[in-house]
Structures are given as C-alpha cells and as structure tokens.
C-alpha cells in the first residue's frame, strides 16, 4: 500500500488541498506568493503533484518544480511555512504521525528545487 493510499487517497488529498490553500493564502508571511494567482488551477496542480509525490496516480503534467517556481524568490522560511501548513492540515484530517513524518521527508527533498529558483 502506498503512502497516498495510507493517508486516505484522493478524498483526503482533495480536502487537504482546499484547506491548505485557505491557510497559506491567509498567512501574511506567504500571501504575496499567491496574490493574483488562479487558485483553482493551483489547487488542481497541487492535488496532482501531491498524488505523484506520495506514490499515487501519476496525473501531474505541470512544469517541473524548478521551472514552476523560477523567479519567485521563495525563501527557506516560506518553504518551511508552506510545508508546515500542509502537515498541520493532514494532521487535522487524522493522518497518522508516522505518515506525516514521511510526507514531510518527501517534501524536504524537494526544497532545493523550489527555494531561490
């Protein structure tokens, strides 16, 4: 069973993505990176990305992470905050601690592709 399946699959990813974007867009330290963006499109990309990153369906067809974040000047602090919001969201949805740790580990590996891109 994949981590995607263990956390609840598509229903949990869909709910988590909605709650996650409410949190990051409401975070004054992160709002600048989301202002003026098509949040519906971002949510769809995030759902597909998370599914792929967690060994679920490979539906992600967007730009690679480096290309998608080029010129955005994302900081280490911002990346940490974004990952934190996702982990808290998954925790609130009842995802087990060991799975939260694994999700965080997988996202940490991607940090160099996003920060300072």
Query: Under 8 Å CB-to-CB from 94, ≥6 apart: which residues?
Result: 8
Its pTM stands at: 0.88
Give tens-digit pLDDT for 37-68.
899 988 988 888 888 888 988 766 766 777 77
* Residue ranges of domains in the chain: 3-114
Give tens-digit pLDDT for 64-80.
777 777 777 889 999 99
Of 3.40.50.10470, 3.20.20.140, 1.10.490.10, 3.90.1150.10, which CATH number belongs to 3-114? Answer: 1.10.490.10
Query: Under 8 Å CB-to-CB from 98, ≥6 apart: which residues?
Result: none
Considering only CA atoms, which of 70, 80, 102 is closest in space to residue 30? 80
Give tens-digit pLDDT for 28-37.
999 988 888 8
């Amino acid at each position: 069973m994949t981590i995607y399946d263990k956390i609840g699959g598509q229903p949990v990813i869909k709910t988590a993505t909605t709650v996650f974007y409410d949190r990051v867009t409401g975070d004054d330290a992160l709002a600048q990176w989301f202002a003026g963006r098509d949040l519906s499109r971002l949510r769809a990309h995030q759902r597909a990305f998370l599914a792929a990153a967690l060994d679920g369906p490979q539906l992600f067809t967007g730009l690679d992470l480096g290309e998608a974040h080029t010129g955005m000047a994302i900081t280490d602090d911002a990346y940490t905050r974004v990952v934190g919001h996702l982990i808290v969201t998954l925790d609130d949805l009842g995802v087990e601690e060991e799975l939260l740790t694994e999700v965080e580990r997988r996202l940490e590996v991607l940090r160099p592709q996003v920060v300072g891109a």
